Amino acid sequence: MTAMRGPGIFLAQFASDAAPFNSLPAITKWAAGLGYKGVQIPTWDRRLFDLDLCAESQTYADEVVGVCFEAGVEITELSTHLQGQLVAVNPAYDAAFEAFAPEAVKGNRQARQDWAVAQVISAGRAARKLGLSGTVSFTGSLAFPFLYPWPQRPAGLIDEAFAELARRWTPILNAYDEVGVDIGFELHPGEDVFDGASWERFLSAVAEHPRARINYDPSHFLLQAMDYLAFIDLYHDRISAFHVKDAEFRPDGRQGVYSGYSAWSDRAGRFRSLGDGQVDFGAIFTKLTQHGYRGWAVMEWECFLKSPVQGAAEGAPFIKQHLIEVTGQAFDDFAGGQVDRTALCAMLGIAE
């Protein structure tokens, strides 16, 4: 067994125009000061990172690594969640997701998709220049508006959606394979790949592509009333990244998983800061460690109530206390002894 690395922090929810959150040198020093050892970098935020430049320039990549090293942190992964979302967008979501796209491609679905694909591919090249083995992303969604089977879905609709996802993502995965980098997809409601069953559909559609991996985030599974521990047993060989995010699910006589269009503060299922929700992180860290997960434990902060400043300060020690130093010996070694076949046969009542 091997131990995972951490604590790490996803910088996306903290980046802003105010210091120390408006530049990579400043925000990495802030993170290190709270006890974080790694940072997951959002590739769409030019206040922190220039994706296009990093994909082409080893000099710039080395500068980024140097900035992080000077602050006392490492880069865990590059995130392309927003660009990955735009690889596949159902027309119902066009207006909502336009905000993720640059002005030059807004209003042009094909141009927006082409831009998103190029961005995700650039992130793979940038990750290799940074010395990273993986990125994290979303799959996007073509079928999610048809999640509930009413009205009755036409035969073949979901199959065609996943076939199209494969047509869009296979060239990206091939490009990642060329540079030796994985994509860890975050299984997330709103994406076509949001649970184990949809993951299996996607993986089958991309012909079990070796670069297709999972960014494991138990909060999304808890809010779907899934067994997030059994998920690790089923898919641990594909887990390449880990978002440490908490949540609570408290259904009642008025609300369940769908929560009646309520705002986050009023939903039955809500994201919480680490330790404030219901996710059993002790069991998760144990299972991931048992299955040999070697990657980072990265806090993704999202909470309807607590401030991000408090959530970030509490996150590093929370993760640190859950990291497991893997033992090199069995707890009952003291009771063992040398193998004595004569004694063993006598204990079993068999002839030697």
What is the per-residue pLDDT for 2? 62
pLDDT digits (tens, 9 = 90+) for 225-272: 999 999 999 999 999 999 999 999 999 999 999 999 999 999 999 999
Residues 6+ apart with CB under 8 A from 346: none
- Is the per-residue pLDDT at 333 higher than 80? no
Taking the C-alpha atoms of residue 202 and residue 258, their distance in angstroms, rounded to an integer, is: 24
User: Stretch 159-164: mean pLDDT, rounded?
Assistant: 98
Residue 156, number of CB atoms within 10 A of its CB: 9
What is the per-residue pLDDT for 176? 99
CA angle 240, 242, 245 (to 5 degrees): 160
The pTM of the full predicted model, rounded to 2 decimals, is 0.95
Taking the C-alpha atoms of residue 111 and residue 171, their distance in angstroms, rounded to an integer, is: 17
- Is the per-residue pLDDT at 336 higher than 90? no
- Is the per-residue pLDDT at 114 higher than 60? yes
What is the per-residue pLDDT for 1? 54
- Is the per-residue pLDDT at 335 higher than 70? no
What is the per-residue pLDDT for 183? 98
- Is the per-residue pLDDT at 172 higher than 80? yes
Omega within 30 of 0 (cis) for the link into 42:
no
Question: Is 27 in contact with 48 (CB distance < 8 Å)?
Answer: yes
pLDDT digits (tens, 9 = 90+) for 5-49: 999 999 999 999 999 999 999 999 999 999 999 999 999 999 999
Q: Whats the size of the chain, residue-wise?
A: 352
For residue 189, the 8-state DSSP code is: B
- In the chain the domains, ranked by start, together with CATH numbers, are 5-348 (3.20.20.150)
User: Stretch 293-303: mean pLDDT, rounded?
Assistant: 97
Residues 6+ apart with CB under 8 A from 81: 12, 42, 136, 137, 138, 186
CA angle 182, 187, 190 (to 5 degrees): 125
Q: What CA–CA distances, in Å, run from 119 to 47, 75, 188?
A: 17, 19, 21
Mean pLDDT of the chain: 96
- Is the per-residue pLDDT at 162 higher than 90? yes
User: Stretch 118-130: mean pLDDT, rounded?
Assistant: 98
Structure tokens at 195: 């649970």
What is the per-residue pLDDT for 337? 72
